[in-house]
Amino acid sequence: MLFAKAIPDGVRVTGFLDDPALVMVTCKSATGEKRVIPLDCDYRGYFSETIAVKGFQVVDVVGIPILKTRRTLYVSRSVVNGEELADFYKSQGIETLPPNDMHITIAYSKRRVDWEACGEENCEDVELEPSFRRSMAPLGTQGAIVLKVESPILRSRWKHFIKKGATWDYDEYQPHITITYSQKAVPENLVPFPGRLILGPEKFAEVDENWASNV
């Protein structure tokens, strides 16, 4: 059973969930404007969530059980010739990630999506032609240095997952390969790898938000 209670500048929804559910909260303003606000609840038991909807009153609260096919989604492709990248950067004095850890992320959705709607994994390798237009850049707060690459195929797949409901934590998608976590800044004379890159089949997995502890 779910309940809604008006609080200053919003509404608090509480109750008990037997299973993870999508809680749909329907609100209506004094002028008749209606809003339907989804709350993604990925746990069982007591539930409490506050919604900032000033000027609206809740008219209905419904819990919809989440399909078992709805999960967080992490899609990546490993770099098949990772040893070639590692040798290239080690020759420039960079301590790289293990070659079998090198990959390109295509989707990283903390919001659950329907995996069946996303379709099957793309099992064909993708080759990126040699290019002198690649660049090196720092990324995130873990001290990562990445190789930025371009690929219409990867961008198209990223857009596919976004259209299926996947979220993305950045304003845009920039395909990249993390080379190292051991540099505080990009060395001034570091040369981007210009050679052919071979990417293995897509791999679907659930998001591991504690990935940094394994680096």
CB atoms within 10 A of CB 65: 12
Query: Which residue from 94, 99, 98 is spatially nearest to 83, judged by alpha carbons?
Result: 99
Beta bridge partner(s), residue 130: none
- Report how far residue 123's alpha carbon sits from residue 156's, in angstroms, rounded to the nearest whole number: 15
Contacts of 190 (CB under 8 A, 6+ apart): 89, 92, 94, 136, 145
Residues identified as active-site:
103, 105, 176, 178
Residue 7 bridge partners (DSSP): 10
Residue showing tokens 């897509």: 202
The number of CA neighbours under 13 Å toward the Cβ of 23 is: 29
